[in-house]
């Protein structure tokens, strides 16, 4: 393990709660995930304030729009100095190529390392019925593989996937593609609304590069101790 692979999800609505968690957890995790709820209520300043703790930021806004709009949003995120961000692979190859190019070019202009642009394939809340409504492929696993291969071909260097997709994706993707997976449970806590989970160790052994972990850390009586214990379980 060359890096701390834990991404703690800051799934809280206010700047105060997010910063308290970030300050508590920064030394024990590899990055913080800022999602739609926190970003929409707190604004871009939350990214700067979390970056001030010294931690990396994963901005999970799942962009999906015309290529030019996505490219501009990515450039803005690079200026905010985020290290990872998400787009929908279903936006197509032109959108994904524009996103990756915007990340690389803006980072080069600023002298930053380009952030990892992650493709989201099929949301885990979607099933074959959802896919049937949209037309086209209705087999979820096949659609995940199709979009994952398209993302890699379009130049993306990483994907978000469910724990149970890791092994199949590792078989078909170039090994340098980074896989980021939520749905992690240690066994010590309840599964909440997550239906298909792996433990942190199982997910890394299956080939995950990063683990997005929310409630097992943030809802623990001692979040810092929970993060440290997960990290120890990986060593
Ligand atoms: O609390 P928990 O560990 O379930 O949080 C997981 C995080 O990962 C949440 O921010 C959730 O929105 C996100 N996520 C997920 N499943 C997906 C995609 C994202 O749980 N398929």
Strands 84-88 and 158-160: unpaired
Q: Residue 111's domain spans which residues?
A: 6-233
User: Whose alpha carbon is nearest atom 13 of ligand 1?
Assistant: 182
In a domain, 1, yes or no: no
Q: CATH code at 126?
A: 3.20.20.70
Q: Is 9 in the pocket of ligand 1 (CB under 6 A)?
A: yes
In a domain, 162, yes or no: yes
In a domain, 29, yes or no: yes
- CA–CA gap between residue 165 and residue 161 (Å, rounded): 6
| Mean pLDDT, each 10-residue run in order, the chain (235 residues) | 89 93 96 96 96 96 98 98 98 98 98 97 93 94 98 98 96 98 89 85 97 96 97 94
What's residue 196's pLDDT? Answer: 80
In a domain, 56, yes or no: yes
Q: Is 102 exposed, middle or buried (0-12, 13-18, 19+ CB in 10 A)?
A: buried
What's residue 176's pLDDT? Answer: 97
Residue 111 token pair: 């002298």
The answer to whether the beta carbons of residues 85 and 118 sit under 8 Å apart is yes
User: Whose alpha carbon is nearest atom 10 of ligand 1?
Assistant: 9
Please give the span between the terminal C-alpha atoms of the chain, in angstroms, as a whole number: 8
Cα(77) to centroid(ligand 1), Å: 21
List the helix and strand counts (H, then E) for the chain.
11, 8
What's residue 1's pLDDT? Answer: 59
pTM over 0.85: yes
Q: How many domains is the chain built from?
A: 1
What's residue 89's pLDDT? Answer: 98
């Amino acid at each position: 393990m060359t890096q701390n692979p834990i991404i703690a999800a800051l799934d809280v609505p206010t700047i105060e709660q997010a910063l308290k968690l970030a300050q508590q957890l920064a030394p024990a995790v590899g990055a913080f995930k800022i999602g739609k709820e926190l970003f929409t209520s707190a604004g871009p300043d939350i990214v700067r304030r979390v970056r001030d703790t010294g931690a990396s930021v994963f901005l999970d806004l799942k962009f999906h729009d015309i290529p030019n709009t996505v490219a501009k949003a990515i450039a803005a995120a690079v200026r905010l100095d985020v290290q990872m961000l998400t787009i929908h692979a279903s936006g197509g190859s032109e959108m994904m190529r524009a996103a990756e190019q915007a990340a690389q070019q803006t980072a080069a202009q600023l002298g930053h390392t380009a952030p990892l642009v992650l493709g989201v394939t099929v949301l885990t809340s979607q099933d074959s019925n959802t896919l049937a409504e949209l037309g086209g492929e209705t087999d979820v696993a096949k659609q995940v593989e199709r979009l994952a291969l398209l993302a890699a071909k379009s130049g993306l260097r990483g994907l978000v996937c469910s724990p149970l997709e890791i092994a199949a994706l590792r078989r078909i993707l170039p090994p340098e593609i980074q896989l980021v997976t939520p749905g992690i449970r240690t066994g010590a806590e309840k599964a909440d609304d997550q239906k298909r989970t792996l433990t942190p160790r199982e997910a890394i052994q299956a080939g995950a590069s990063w683990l997005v972990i929310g409630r097992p850390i943030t809802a623990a009586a001692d979040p810092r101790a929970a993060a440290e214990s997960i990290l120890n379980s990986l060593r």
